Amino acid sequence: MPQTSSPTASSSSSFHVRSAIIGVLAATAGLMSGLDIGVISGALDFVAKDFNASTLAQEWIVSAMMAGAAIGAITAGWLARATGRKWSLVLSGVIFILGSVGCACAWSVASMICGRALMGLAIGIAAFTSPLYLSEIASEKTRGAMISTYQLMITVGIFLAFMSDTLFSYHGQWRWMFGVIALPGVLFVAGVLFLPYSPRWLMMRGRRAEAHSVLSDLRPDSHDTEAEIQAIDTQLKQRQGGFALLRANKNFRRSIALGILLQVMQQFAGINVVMYYAPKIFALAGFVGTAQLWCTAIVGLVNVLATIAAVGLVDRWGRKPILYTGFTTMTLALGALAWLNHTGMETQAAKFLCVGLIILFIVAHAMSAGPIMWVLCSEIQPIKGRDLGITISTLTNWVSNMVVGASFLSILNWLGGANTFTLMAALNALFLALTFWFVPETRGASLEQIEQNLMQGKRLRDIGQHTGQHA
């Protein structure tokens, strides 16, 4: 009787475990972004006091990271091609460690800004490379969950930083807040060293035998391995430079525009406003001192748990239903926060309601726009211009992040809490409408089918259509 290539249940399970371990190690790049968001939330007031920093200086301290991340996102595409995805991640980890130590040793606002920019450079490189690497090693069935794990690690990083901030805040030890986050950076670098090279990158380098070996360790069926090797080979033969495709093909320009829109929607939904300035928001609700940071730590934990739920649901429910639910919930939560700020929060019940609404907003974002936008941005770009498309969408994420971080305190001082939250609620209502008109449902669709629909000129919201599904 001829031998079959079908794996046994035990061997298949071992392949899935191996893939999951590799995916988690690569996704821990998100820890760096989360740690930064969390640490600046707790440290900002102490830094401002020690350095006599003005509101404008505080905004620059916050937004310096995003400026560095934007530069990192621009250079990450070249770096990932030249050195490989693995060593690009290692470099980002080393830079992050240097930046966090630099912030811990800062002696002025200017030196703090430089340290924050260095941390941002690392985060920008990682934010491009990690989802790219995950999409290249993941199977079609696990693609959504695998890429969502990157966002999960961001939330874990936020929570860990919130907890350390709370502990160090009792004595105002902001230097330790920055210094301690270098330790996860060290662990990240150590873990990445054990990752295999991306099979696609190996094929790009002509290292076919190594690529085959990597895929054989990740795919339980040898037929699947051979088919994927052939598919990568075919794609590379057809590969065209991203800029050439951008100039020549209007449909690629449409996918670029969609990637930009998705990242703008994620950032202007207001999640980083809540995360960066959570203590200040809780102060508006009447929580002062360490009570602010404990509330913020609770928010961080809820963020982690909600993102874990999202990882399990993204390939079951679909992208658009999750986004519809998320933007609707965020609109209502922010609208209620605006009303509370308008009427005043004199009673204890009103204060706790404020905390509850913030937690509801966090849950909604963590289960929708947070992970889903990264998934979609990795799915909608054609293979010929994929590196460029992801570079532009990642850059947009950090530029939008920088704009929000640099302007929020000024807007809050100008408009007041009630009007600021009203503005944020209106933006989320707009994003709900934009989701309907432009965002595709890609669950169950192959990357090849998505690209085919895009290049045929179908409406953006229809490019995820496949047999048995309607957008």
- The DSSP code sequence of 307-373 is HHHHHHHHHHH-HHHHHHHHHHHHHHHHHHHHHHHHH---SHHHHHHHHHHHHHHHHHHHTTHHHHH
From 35, 323, 72, select the one nearest 155 (Cα to Cα): 35
What phi and psi, each to the nearest 5 degrees, are found at residue 52? Answer: 50, 45
* pTM for this entry: 0.75
- Number of other CB atoms surrounding residue 8 within 10 Å: 9
Q: Which two tokens stand for residue 225?
A: 């391995």
Whole-number Å distance between alpha carbons of 273 and 251: 34
Longest dimension (CA), the chain: 80
Tokens 């409408």, located at residue: 433
Give the position of tokens 């630099």.
Answer: 102
SS3 state of residue 52:
coil
Specify whether the CB–CB gap between 32 and 188 falls below 8 A: yes
* Per-state percent for the chain, helix, strand, coil, to nearest 5: 85, 0, 15
Residue with tokens 């690009």: 88
Domains in the chain (CATH in brackets) are 16-195+239-439 (1.20.1250.20)
How many whole angstroms separate alpha carbon 300 and alpha carbon 363?
A: 10
Cα angle 368-39-194, degrees, rounded to a multiple of 5: 75
Task: List per-residue pLDDT tens for the chain, 471 residues long.
Answer: 444 444 555 555 666 677 777 877 888 888 888 888 778 877 887 888 888 888 788 878 887 887 888 888 888 888 888 888 889 999 999 999 999 999 999 898 899 999 999 999 999 899 888 888 887 777 766 777 777 788 788 888 888 887 787 778 777 788 888 888 898 889 889 988 988 888 888 888 878 888 888 777 777 667 777 777 777 777 666 655 677 778 878 889 999 999 999 999 999 998 877 766 666 667 766 666 666 667 767 777 887 888 888 777 777 788 899 999 999 999 999 999 888 878 876 777 877 788 788 889 989 998 898 889 988 988 888 877 777 888 888 888 878 877 886 777 778 778 877 888 899 999 999 999 999 999 998 887 777 788 888 888 899 888 888 654 444
